[in-house]
């Protein structure tokens, strides 16, 4: 039996009929074509499928889509506004924080949520804690940490 699912995805209202056993990850990728959401394990271990659910980062592979009914979902595709990249995206590109790119969408969304709830420029240990649920095998996290820090610094500068 199919069920009606209403979501606001990247600012757009979407309504679809789905089976009850489908995950948010499957719905976003397969029904809505948002393939920026990646699947690295399907078990909630790696964080590549991270999306923002009402502003909070979640492993979308562990969220039954119907349980998100009525929620606001932000995927990596929804971060740039009017053709302008989000400052976190800019920082990741500028600081060499992207190699294979498979962790990148989840890592950027986790960072965005982290900076949204953090004031000022967080310390590196705090940054490492914030992104510790997102695995990366390429970078050793060095340039990711630097990018997150740079994004926070850029925000400070802008607020000055």
Partner 1 sequence: MTDFHVLNSRVRRLDAPAKATGQAVYVEDMNLPGQLYGAILHSPHAHARILDIDVSAAARLRGVKAVVTHRETLGLKYGVSPARYDETLYCSDRARYVGDEIAAVAAEDLATALEAVGLIKVEYEPLPAVFNIEAALAEDAPQLHDDFPGNLNAEVHQEFGDFDQAIKHCDLVHRHTFLNKRQDAAFLEPHASLASFDQRGYLTLYSSTQVPHYVQRTVAMVLGLPIGKVRVVKPYVGGGFGPKAEATPLEMSACLLSMRTGRPVKMSYTREQVFLHSRARHQFRSEYTIGAMKDGTLVGLHNKTWLEGGAYSSFGIATVYYAGSLLGGPYRLQHMKYDGWRVYTNKPTCGAQRGHGGVAARAHFEQQLDMIAEELGLDPLELRLKNVMQTGETTINDLNMSSLGMRECLEGVEKASGWREKKGQLKSGRGIGLACGFFVSGAGYPIYRSDTYHATVVVKLAEDGGTALVETASAEIGQGSDTTMAMIAAEALGVNLEDVRIISGDTDLSVDLGAYSSRQTLMTGHATKEAAEEAKRQVLEVLAEELGLPLEELDAKAGKIVFKGVRPDFRNLRVAYLKEHRGWTDWPEGEGLTFREAARLAYLKRGSIVGRGKYKPPKLGGAYKGATVGTSPAYGCSAQVAEVSVDLETGQVRVERVYGAHDCGLAINRTSVEGQMEGSVSMGLGEALFEEVKFDGQGRVVNASLGEYKIPTALDCPEVKAIIVESNEPNGPFGAKEVGEGAIMPTIPAILNAIYDASGVRINELPASAERIFLALKKKTRT
Q: How many residues bind partner 1 (CB under 8 A)?
A: 55
Residue length of the chain: 160
Q: Which is nearer to partner 1, 71 or 148 (CB)?
A: 148
Selected range binding partner 1 among 62-70, 111-119, 132-140, 150-158, rule: CB under 8 A: 132-140
Q: Which is nearer to partner 1, 69 or 93 (CB)?
A: 93
> Does residue 79 bind partner 1 (CB under 8 A)?
yes
Site for partner 1 (CB under 8 A): which residue of 16, 77, 118, 154? 77
Nearest-angstrom CA–CA distance, 17 and 128: 39
Question: Are the CB atoms for 152 and 124 separated by under 8 Å?
Answer: no
* Distance spanning both ends of the chain, measured CA to CA: 55
Nearest-angstrom CA–CA distance, 99 and 15: 35
How are beta strands 12-19 and 56-59 bridged, if at all?
Answer: unpaired
Smallest gap from Cβ 60 to partner 1, in A, equals 13
Question: Are the CB atoms for 4 and 17 separated by under 8 Å?
Answer: yes
Q: Which is nearer to partner 1, 143 or 155 (CB)?
A: 143
Q: Which is nearer to partner 1, 30 or 119 (CB)?
A: 30
User: Residue 51: how many CB atoms within 10 A of its CB?
Assistant: 27
Smallest gap from Cβ 160 to partner 1, in A, equals 26
Binding interface with partner 1 (CB under 8 A): 29, 34-46, 48, 75-77, 79-80, 85, 89, 92-96, 98-105, 108, 124, 127-129, 131-145
């Amino acid at each position: 039996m199919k069920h009606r699912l209403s979501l606001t995805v990247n600012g757009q209202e979407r309504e679809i009929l789905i089976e009850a056993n489908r995950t948010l990850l499957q719905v976003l990728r397969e029904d809505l074509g948002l393939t920026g959401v990646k699947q690295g394990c399907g078990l909630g271990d790696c964080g590549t499928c991270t999306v923002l659910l009402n502003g909070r980062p979640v492993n979308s592979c562990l969220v039954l889509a119907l349980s998100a009914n009525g929620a606001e979902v932000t995927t990596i595709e929804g971060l740039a506004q009017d053709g302008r990249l989000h400052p976190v995206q800019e920082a990741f590109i500028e600081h060499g924080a992207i190699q294979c790119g498979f962790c990148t969408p989840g890592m950027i969304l986790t960072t965005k949520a982290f900076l949204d709830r953090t004031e000022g420029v967080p310390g590196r240990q705090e940054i490492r804690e914030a992104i510790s649920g997102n695995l990366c095998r390429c970078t050793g996290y060095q340039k990711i940490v630097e990018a997150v820090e740079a994004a926070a610094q850029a925000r400070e500068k802008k607020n000055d």
